[in-house]
Amino acid sequence: LTVKTGTVNVTLIPGDGIGPEIAQSVKEIFDVAKVPIKWEEVSVAPILVDGVSTIPADAISSIKKNTIALKGPLATPIGKGHVSLNLTLRRTFNLYANVRPCRSVEGYKTAYDNVDTVIIRENTEGEYSGIEHEVVDGVVQSIKLITHEASSRVARYAFEYARANNRLHVTAVHKAPIMKMSDGMFLRACRELAPEYPDVKYDEDLLDRVCLRIVQNPGPYADRVMVMPNVRRTLTGLGCVCVAARAGGGRGRGLADRVGSACAQLYGDILSDMCAGLIGGLGLTPSGNIGKDASIFEAVHGSAPDIAGKGMANPTALILSSAMMMRHMQMYDFADKIESATLRTIAEGNCTRDLRGKSSTQQFTQGIISKL
Q: Could you list the residues that contact ligand ATP (CB under 6 A)?
A: 17-18, 73, 75, 282-283, 301-307, 313-314, 317, 354
Query: Based on CB atoms, which residue is closest to ligand ATP, 144 or 301?
Result: 301
Q: If contact means CB under 5 to 8 A according to the sort of partner, which of ligand ATP, Mg ion, none does residue 42 touch?
A: none
Query: Based on CB atoms, which residue is closest to ligand ATP, 85 or 341?
Result: 85
Q: Nearest residue by C-beta to Mg ion?
A: 302
Q: If contact means CB under 5 to 8 A according to the sort of partner, which of ligand ATP, Mg ion, none does residue 144 touch?
A: none
Q: If contact means CB under 5 to 8 A according to the sort of partner, which of ligand ATP, Mg ion, none does residue 268 touch?
A: none
Q: How would you class 112 by CB atoms within 10 Å of its CB: exposed for 0-12, middle for 13-18, buried for 19 or more?
A: middle
Minimum gap (Å) between residue 73 Cβ and ligand ATP: 5
d(CA 288, CA 302): 15
Minimum gap (Å) between residue 160 Cβ and ligand ATP: 30
Minimum gap (Å) between residue 313 Cβ and ligand ATP: 4
Contact 126, 165 (CB under 8 A): no
Contact 71, 296 (CB under 8 A): yes
Query: Based on CB atoms, which residue is closest to ligand ATP, 18 or 325?
Result: 18
Q: If contact means CB under 5 to 8 A according to the sort of partner, which of ligand ATP, Mg ion, none does residue 309 touch?
A: none
- Beta-carbon contacts of 353 under 8 Å, excluding residues fewer than 6 positions away, are 312
Query: Based on CB atoms, which residue is closest to ligand ATP, 182 or 359?
Result: 359
Contact 235, 175 (CB under 8 A): no
Query: Based on CB atoms, which residue is closest to Mg ion, 107 or 302?
Result: 302
The crossing angle, in degrees rounded to 10, of helices 19-33 and 316-328 is 50
Minimum gap (Å) between residue 235 Cβ and ligand ATP: 11
Q: How would you class 180 by CB atoms within 10 Å of its CB: exposed for 0-12, middle for 13-18, buried for 19 or more?
A: exposed
Q: In a 3-state reduction of DSSP, which class is residue 29?
A: helix
Q: If contact means CB under 5 to 8 A according to the sort of partner, which of ligand ATP, Mg ion, none does residue 129 touch?
A: none
Q: Does 281 bind Mg ion (CB under 5 A)?
A: no
Minimum gap (Å) between residue 3 Cβ and ligand ATP: 28
**CB count, 10 Å around CB of 349?**
14
Torsions phi, psi of 371, nearest 5?
A: -95, -5
Q: If contact means CB under 5 to 8 A according to the sort of partner, which of ligand ATP, Mg ion, none does residue 79 touch?
A: none
Task: HSE, CB side, 13 Å, CA atoms: give it for residue 361.
Answer: 26
Minimum gap (Å) between residue 47 Cβ and ligand ATP: 20
Nearest to 232, CA basis, from 128, 119, 101: 128
Query: Based on CB atoms, which residue is closest to ligand ATP, 218 or 283?
Result: 283
Minimum gap (Å) between residue 73 Cβ and Mg ion: 8
Q: Does 302 bind Mg ion (CB under 5 A)?
A: yes
Q: If contact means CB under 5 to 8 A according to the sort of partner, which of Mg ion, ligand ATP, none does residue 107 touch?
A: none
Minimum gap (Å) between residue 76 Cβ and Mg ion: 9
Query: Based on CB atoms, which residue is closest to ligand ATP, 36 or 302?
Result: 302
Q: Nearest residue by C-beta to ligand ATP?
A: 302
Minimum gap (Å) between residue 29 Cβ and ligand ATP: 15
Provide the sign of the torsion angle of the four alpha carbons 350, 353, 359, 360, taken in this order. Answer: positive
Q: If contact means CB under 5 to 8 A according to the sort of partner, which of Mg ion, ligand ATP, none does residue 85 touch?
A: none
Query: Based on CB atoms, which residue is closest to Mg ion, 20 or 302?
Result: 302
Q: Could you tell me how many residues make up the chain? A: 372
DSSP class of 205: E
Nearest to 119, CA basis, from 215, 212, 230: 230
Query: Based on CB atoms, which residue is closest to ligand ATP, 252 or 283?
Result: 283
Contact 144, 129 (CB under 8 A): yes
* Displacement of CA 351 from its chain's centroid (Å): 23
d(CA 171, CA 183): 14
- Beta-carbon contacts of 254 under 8 Å, excluding residues fewer than 6 positions away, are none
Interaction site with Mg ion (CB under 5 A): 302
